[in-house]
Structures are given as structure tokens and as C-alpha cells.
Structure 1
């Protein structure tokens, strides 16, 4: 098992825990799979093994985690290009 596999395994454990927490607190949104990531992922954005794993297996759809101050928003694969443009403006 190389370092990339180890990282993906740790990410998978964390995402499974995130699902438990989302269900426990009835958070809005969901985590779903993306069947054709090559066509769904914006071609102008960099990809890594970890990013591919996230979006292929745990694509966050409208997932927002309220923190009491500023919510945490994890963008879905369909929102990545739009989110990059917004972040580039800053």
C-alpha cells in the first residue's frame, strides 16, 4: 500500500464519519456517487487521486454545515467551475 492509498483510506474513514454526523443531526444536503466523473469534472481544474475519490464516491450535493458563524460549504462536482470563478475574484 503506497502513500496515496493510505491517504484515500483515511479520507474514506473521515467521509463515512461525516455521513454518520450528517444523519445524526439531519444536515441539509447529501453525499452521492458520480458515475461518469471524467465527463462531470471540469476539464480546466486540476485533479488528484484524492479529489477523484471524493467526487466519485462522496459527491456533496447542497451540503452545508452550520458552525454558528460561517457555514462550511463543500462544493459538488457540478458547482466546481462556478466556485473557482467566485474564489478567483478574491
Structure 2
């Protein structure tokens, strides 16, 4: 069961990494540092959008309209951290 705990923590770490990369890329694209017309940037950007939209979509439906400000990555990141805290506090259940 210890391995199940480690796998869950690894998956949460990967999700956290993807959310942070998506957040940074969105800022770089907004400030025109990155251009989505470049093939590599476009593939990474659209791939991250496809991976994270199942997470962001339900959050966006719950959050009120902020006038162009998307807080769903922040809420998703807080959710990932909350799950990590819950798993760490209940690690005894996995032993």
C-alpha cells in the first residue's frame, strides 16, 4: 500500500507541474514572448490545454465571471495541494 501512496503523490506532482507550466506559458503568450504560430510552442500549448481542460472546465463553471481573468489554474493548484495535505496526513492508512 505504500507504493499506492507514492504513485498518488507522483501523479499529483505531475499535475502540479503541468498546471504551473500552463500558467507560465499563458503569461508568456499574453505578453507576446512566445508565439503559438511556432510549431513547437503551438503543440505544447494545445497539448496542455487538452490535458488540463477536464480539470479547469468544472472549476470555470463554478467560479463567477471575472472579466477575462481566469482563476481556474489557481483553484486547481490549491486543490492539488489540498489533496497532497490530505494524503500526507492519512499516510497511516496506506501502511
Q: TM-score, normalised by structure 2?
A: 0.31
- Relative to total residues, which structure has the larger helix share, 1 or 2? 2
TM-score by length of 1: 0.33
Q: Determine which structure has greater relative contact order: mean sequence separation of CA pairs < 8 Å that are 6+ residues apart, divided by chain length.
A: 2
* Greater C-alpha Rg: 2
